[in-house]
Amino acid sequence: MVRILRASSKSISFLTLFLLPLLAVLLYGHTFKSPFHFDDKDLIKNNPAIHDLYDPERAMAYNRPRPALMVSLAFSYHFSGTNVFGYHLFNILLHCLSSIIIFCVSRLLLHSSGKKGRLHAAFLGASSLGAMFFLVHPMNTEAVTYISARSDLLAAFFLLLSFYFFFKARICPGAALKSAYMVAAFLAYCLSMASKEIGVVLPILVLGADYYLFRSPENENHGRPSGFIEYLKIRGPALLPFFLMVLVLFVVRYQWEGSFLEKKSAFLSMHSRAAYVLTQVNVIPWYYINRMFFPENQNVDIYFPIYKTFFNLSTAAGAICLSGMVFLAVRRRFSSALLSFAVFWFVASLSPTSSFIPITDVAVERRLYLPGIAMSFMVAHIMSGPGLRKSITPLVVLLLFCSLGINRNYVYRDELSLWTDAASKAKANERARNNLGDVYNGLGLYEEAAAELREAVRIEPRYAEAHYNLGVVYGRMGRRQEALRELRLSEVHHYSSPELYYNLGVLYEETGLLDKAEEKYLIAVKLNPGHSRAYNNLGNIHARQGRLEEAAAEWKAVLRIDPDFNGVRERLEKISMITANDKEHSLAN
């Protein structure tokens, strides 16, 4: 550590640019074959909207609030198809580039934080170590390895880029160069918001950094309210375009979604907004902050209880911890400006997902990706001081985080490993049990699948998807009555999947209830007009009932969807022959 801090500035910069990609390969190199998980299948593998890079409008229309994300997925699909290697490579490169920008930003902030007389190499060494902590932190593995979490990576990357360009414009000489940096900052900000809505926090982060770290001689009293007003008069025009973009985002969102914030929140259908806030008062200190310092027992599907009252020990203690953290940060905003700003960054960047806007999943590890940058600033602040420059403790912690990150990434090697891990760490999590049961079903392990799915519906009797999956498993086990019962329960609990109605149709058809089977198949093709198997079975029912013209119409629909559907052409030829013979017989009479 001593040698690094004493090295020349150029050497440290080159060493950092060499070590960061090396660490990325070390930590994530074994994830290139990790398969699609969870939402990846619907968002990528089975999503025709991203299958044509030359039709970006179709991709963007699939998820209008996040067009940059969808275009990036179309880009990956164009070059990789369903081969996961390209998707993982893209995510890892983004993570590595973000770490490099953090190195540059930390160096910039250290020089502007009022620490005078320190070695330039010390600033670089501290910034380098902070960037490495971000790169290897185990809590970032979900955001990087889970392909669908790319939205967090993109939003953070462009936000960091915009943040860096803004402050380069703040300190660089020359009006032309300042303007170029500001335009670049604004464009990067737009791309951040087009990747994920969390990018909206950039103006607040810029305001905090500019106000506390970039101290201007014109505004020496900026710590007082009157000073802040004077500060806004001086710096407000530069920030105005960014805040106007926030307004534009809300207006556009209202036009698209019919709501400024959430619309038809699943959380609000069961709980209150106050319950979400109280739960976040627990999530932030007891899970997020705890895992930032002690990253253990990570879970892709966190089970966290809902808190509906302030009057319990956990919530009260959480509120005290958060209030104390903010109070100390405000109090030390001048003596430890960068440390104070790190707390500000953490709280501000968590606010879109952990405040009053309810999201179904109250705690998700990938949401820490952007707030977790605060730890890099904290490490940079501590290591830039004289106390720890010669200590090996940070390097030991860095190596420990590397080891934990590598081990965590092994969990993503296949779906069975991922969901076995999730269910074992959250036994009361019905979704983890359902997903594990679905994996067992795909592997043909029906007894194991049924056991997990029964546990899922025991935990949450209204869990429609688990009832559906259990019905499918029972059907494959030959237990038709139990299968029919579970599929009906899934329908009662409003599971509107075309596969549900298709499978109900199959069971009714097998038991001779053709009218009910036809009814369910018709719902299936209404929900999914491209459901060739449902059209085929409708044709079979019509043929059994002697409705040959209707049967032919259904089978022709099958061929329009899938020209190679097995056996359909032969059946159409038979109908043609029968129809021709009937016509000949009629003419003969």
Which pLDDT does position 172 carry in this prediction?
Answer: 85
- Do 448 and 348 share a structural domain? no
The answer to the question of residue 517 being in a domain is yes
The answer to the question of residue 473 being in a domain is yes
In this prediction the pTM is 0.89
The one-letter code for the residue type at 358 is P
Q: For residue 117, what pLDDT band results from cuts at 50, 70 and 90?
A: very low
Please state the rounded mean pLDDT for residues 380-390. Answer: 73
- Do 453 and 318 share a structural domain? no
For the record, the structure tokens of 2 come out as 């001593």
- Do 568 and 437 share a structural domain? yes
Q: Show the CA angle centred on residue 551, arms to residues 545 and 555, nearest 5°.
A: 145
- Do 478 and 583 share a structural domain? yes
- Is the pLDDT reported for residue 208 higher than 50? yes
The answer to the question of residue 119 being in a domain is no
The one-letter code for the residue type at 346 is F
State how many domains the chain has. Answer: 2
How many of the other CB atoms lie within 10 Å of CB of 322? 16
Would the CA dihedral through 342, 140, 422, 459 be positive or negative? Answer: positive
- Is the pLDDT reported for residue 403 higher than 90? yes
Q: Which helix (H) or strand (E) holds 421?
A: helix 415-425
Q: What are phi and psi of 508, to 5 degrees?
A: -65, -40
| Interatomic CA distance for residues 507 and 175, integer angstroms | 74
Would the CA dihedral through 535, 538, 544, 548 be positive or negative? Answer: negative
- Do 571 and 480 share a structural domain? yes
Question: Of 321, 363, 357, 328, which is closest to residue 343 (Cα–Cα)?
Answer: 328
Name the domain boundary from 350, 371, 392: 371
- Is the pLDDT reported for residue 254 higher than 80? no
The answer to the question of residue 301 being in a domain is yes
| Interatomic CA distance for residues 362 and 302, integer angstroms | 9
- Do 356 and 468 share a structural domain? no
Percent of the chain with pLDDT over 70: 91
CATH assignment at residue 574: 1.25.40.10
- Is the pLDDT reported for residue 10 higher than 60? yes
Helix-strand-coil split of the chain, %, nearest 5? 75, 0, 25
Name the domain boundary from 343, 371, 399: 371
Q: How many residues does the chain have?
A: 589
pLDDT digits (tens, 9 = 90+) for 314-340: 999 999 999 999 999 988 887 888 899
- Do 458 and 358 share a structural domain? no
- Is the pLDDT reported for residue 80 higher than 50? yes
- Do 441 and 333 share a structural domain? no
In this structure, are residues 415 and 36 in contact, taking their beta carbons and an 8 Å threshold? no
- Do 550 and 437 share a structural domain? yes
3-state secondary structure of 519: helix
- Do 583 and 483 share a structural domain? yes
Q: For residue 420, what pLDDT band results from cuts at 50, 70 and 90?
A: very high
The answer to the question of residue 52 being in a domain is no
Q: For residue 217, what pLDDT band results from cuts at 50, 70 and 90?
A: very low
- Do 552 and 454 share a structural domain? yes
The answer to the question of residue 252 being in a domain is no
The answer to the question of residue 223 being in a domain is no
Measure the N-to-C terminal CA separation of the chain; round to a whole number of Å: 103
Question: Of 47, 49, 147, which is closest to residue 94 (Cα–Cα)?
Answer: 147
- Do 583 and 446 share a structural domain? yes
Q: Per DSSP, which regions of 11-105 are E strands?
A: none
Q: Which residue has the higher pLDDT, 9 or 64?
A: 64
Q: CA–CA distance from 253 to each of 73, 154, 246 (Å)?
A: 22, 19, 11
Residue where the block lists tokens 């104070």: 340
Domain that holds residue 280: 261-371
The answer to the question of residue 536 being in a domain is yes
Q: What are phi and psi of 563, to 5 degrees?
A: -60, -20
Q: What is the DSSP string of 115-136?
A: --S--HHHHHHHHHHHHHHHHH
- Is the pLDDT reported for residue 11 higher than 90? no
pLDDT digits (tens, 9 = 90+) for 531-552: 999 999 999 999 999 898 899 9
Please state the rounded mean pLDDT for residues 458-474. Answer: 97
